[in-house]
Amino acid sequence: MENIPIYEKRFQVRHYECDARGLLSQAVFLRYMQESAYEASASLGYGMLAYKEADRSWYIRETDISFEQDVWYGEKVMVRTWVKDFHRVRSIRAYDLFAEDGKTRIARAQSDWVFLEQSTGKPRSIPLEMIRAFRPDWTPGKIGERRRSLPGPGPAKNSFRCTRHVEWRDLDPVQHVNNSIYLNYLEDCGLQAERAAGWPLERLEVENLCIVSRRAQLEYKQSARFGDELEIETWLSEPTYASWNRFFRIIRAVDGALILQAYLHQSWMDQARKEWVPIPEAAKRDFL
């Protein structure tokens, strides 16, 4: 990777970025990635002003992130990011997130970005000079990674549904729901589903258990905007000894448009020992 521009960005974990357990919120990982991508682009001559003047912008089509270590308030996170490939209108950007020592990896991820005309929202070809700035080794016609649709079955009979309205605080400067906010939506819906199944956080704490999301894959289909009523459906599938996949689908209520589909790969953990444990038989009966 010696010929690929790699950008490094350090973040100090703030108290307001932590969740109720005191850990860095998983949605904030996505914010760190996004900010690092913006700065990496600006460092090569493609900052926000340049994109605005050219009537161009990047839109995240899909994000895939695996969480490997917990991060606590006050710790530092270092993000390393680089462009992996190009297609005509799309590009995959990779991320490695490390602890302050620069060696202990806490997460790894990649995002699939689409290059758009800002005024119309239509995809546009990525200029050759931009490709050469991000990947000097890239040659025209080179084939990048193949794109695959998000895997997963359809909704199960025991699916759980909830609704929410898009609030002003959920929006970014483009006036649509920021990509990281959707992970907050999914986490909240998943917790509600657990409570409805008889496994609220209080019960998990009493039994010294927790359900940990180890991987998140989100595919953004359309933008949600201020005031939209969203219907979120979630269901479980593919259970193993200690884990399962929780799938999600977000629909805009007014027209039935698919906004996002996603899944969280989740495992059961003993909170005291920090070890993965089998799914309790009671939980299998209640959830599956």
Give the pLDDT of residue 12: 97
Structure tokens at 210: 């927790």
Q: How far is CA 124 from CA 49, 82, 138, in A?
A: 18, 21, 19
pLDDT digits (tens, 9 = 90+) for 133-144: 999 988 877 766
With CA atoms as reference, report the closest residue to 228 among 176, 172, 184, 161: 176
Superfamily assignment of 158-288 in CATH? Hotdog Thioesterase (3.10.129.10)
Stretch 220-247: mean pLDDT: 95
Neighbouring C-beta atoms of residue 148, cutoff 10 Å: 7
- pLDDT for position 151: 55
> For residue 215, what pLDDT is reported?
97
Does residue 230 carry a pLDDT above 70? yes
Confidence (pLDDT) at 116: 96
Report the pLDDT averaged over residues 104-115: 97
Most distant CA pair in the chain, distance: 59
1-142 under CATH 3.40.50.720, yes or no: no
Whether the pLDDT of residue 204 is over 60: the answer is yes
With tokens 């990777």, the residue in question is 1
102, pLDDT greater than 60: yes
Q: pLDDT at position 90, please?
A: 94
The answer, yes or no, to whether residue 45 has pLDDT greater than 70, is yes
Does residue 2 have a pLDDT over 80? no
Q: Is residue 37 within a helix (H) or strand (E), and if so which, with residue range?
A: helix 26-43
The percent helix, strand, coil of the chain (3-state, each to 5) is 25, 40, 40
* CA–CA dist 248, 121 (Å, integer): 25
Judge contact between 58 and 96, C-beta under 8 A.
Answer: no
Examine the pLDDT at 101 and tell me if it is beyond 60: yes
Q: What is the mean pLDDT of the chain?
A: 93
Burial tier of 36 (Cβ tally within 10 Å: 0-12, 13-18, 19+): buried
pLDDT digits (tens, 9 = 90+) for 61-99: 999 999 999 999 999 999 999 999 999 999 999 999 999
Q: What is the pLDDT of residue 70?
A: 95
What's the pLDDT band for 158 if we cut at 50, 70, 90? confident
pLDDT at 135: 93
CATH 3.10.129.10 domain range(s) in the chain: 1-142, 158-288
Supply the pLDDT for residue 69: 95
Among 154-158, 170-174, 258-262, which is the least confidently predicted range? 154-158
Q: Which of 171, 169, 167, 212 is nearest to 66 (CA)?
A: 212
* Mean pLDDT across 116-138: 93
Q: What is the pLDDT of residues 3-41, one digit of tens each?
A: 789 999 999 999 999 999 999 999 999 999 999 999 999
- Residue 73 and residue 35: Cα distance in Å, rounded? 19
